[in-house]
Amino acid sequence: MNTLAIVGTGLIGASFGLAVRKAGFAGEILGVSSERAIAEALTAGAIDRPAALAEAAAQADLIFLAQPIGRILDTIRHLDPLVRPGALVTDAGSTKCEIADLALQQIRRCQFLGGHPMAGKEKRGASAAEADLFHGATWVLTPEDPAELKTEAVIDFAGWLRRIGAHPVAMDPEEHDRVVALTSHLPQLASTALASVIAEQLQPPERLSVAGSGLADMTRLALSSYDLWRDILATNSEPIDRALTGYIQKLEHIRENLRTRQLQEEFERASGLAGRLRRAKLG
């Protein structure tokens, strides 16, 4: 990889630029984004210079689409005439089926491989970017066919992912969307609902001072912006609906058994999952 084009120089795009530079990438990093986002990315040192999409796509060996999902879809619709053969287009979208389906239809002159780095922050923009954001994080790659992982461009890209400390994991787009509905989208909605209920029911608001660190932990995701989540929810609605159904049924079961020992099993099952999650993160 000699030239990298980052389309969308917000938190994820700028962090990727910082990460590959820290890992030893000596080529040129082009940024395609709004004027404000480009200014922030330049200040952060995440890109070398701005470029229009046509210029960046014509020069880049790797085109990294780090925009909101709706913008990724729009970029894919216009990208194919601009790319050079041999390039790799990948993305950081939080849902994969719609992106993968559209790319299969639209991108023919080079390879597309969907991706999703399982990393982020509640803060947005290049000013919050970090070179180590992806260190220790899973980076899901979503080929339609496993053979796509064996091309020279993808092998090179996966090598850079490992250099920045990420752990590439392959799964098909459908499985990805089913899994993240449970591991990412449901936690966001649960946190949002919890914070919203408390905001409505806690009176007077000053009584919020009677809260421990547990509430802060549980509502951390509620800091996220709806603008960021709107496209995620719209493009993964069926798996999210199934996840919410299971969660609501579990809450109903808990409510029905507040005075019984039935909840002991739920506490034990939940504690086991929480322990495995923390051991996996530490390991």
Mean pLDDT by 10 residues, the chain (283 residues): 96 98 97 96 97 97 97 97 96 97 96 95 86 96 96 97 97 97 97 96 90 93 91 97 98 96 95 93 71
Helix axes 69-79, 226-235, angle to 10 degrees: 60
Integer Rg of the chain from CA: 21
Q: What was the pLDDT predicted at 283?
A: 64
Q: What was the pLDDT predicted at 55?
A: 97
E strand map for 66-188: 88-91, 111-117, 138-142, 167-170
How many CA within 13 A on the CB side of residue 160?
22
The CB density around residue 71, as the number of other CB atoms within 10 Å, is 16
Q: Which helix (H) or strand (E) covers residue 111, if one does?
A: strand 111-117
Helix axes 11-22, 35-44, angle to 10 degrees: 30
Which CA distances in Å does 171 have to 106, 115, 143, 213? 21, 10, 7, 36
The residue among 206, 149, 156 whose CA lies nearest residue 172 is: 149
Three-state DSSP state, 63: strand
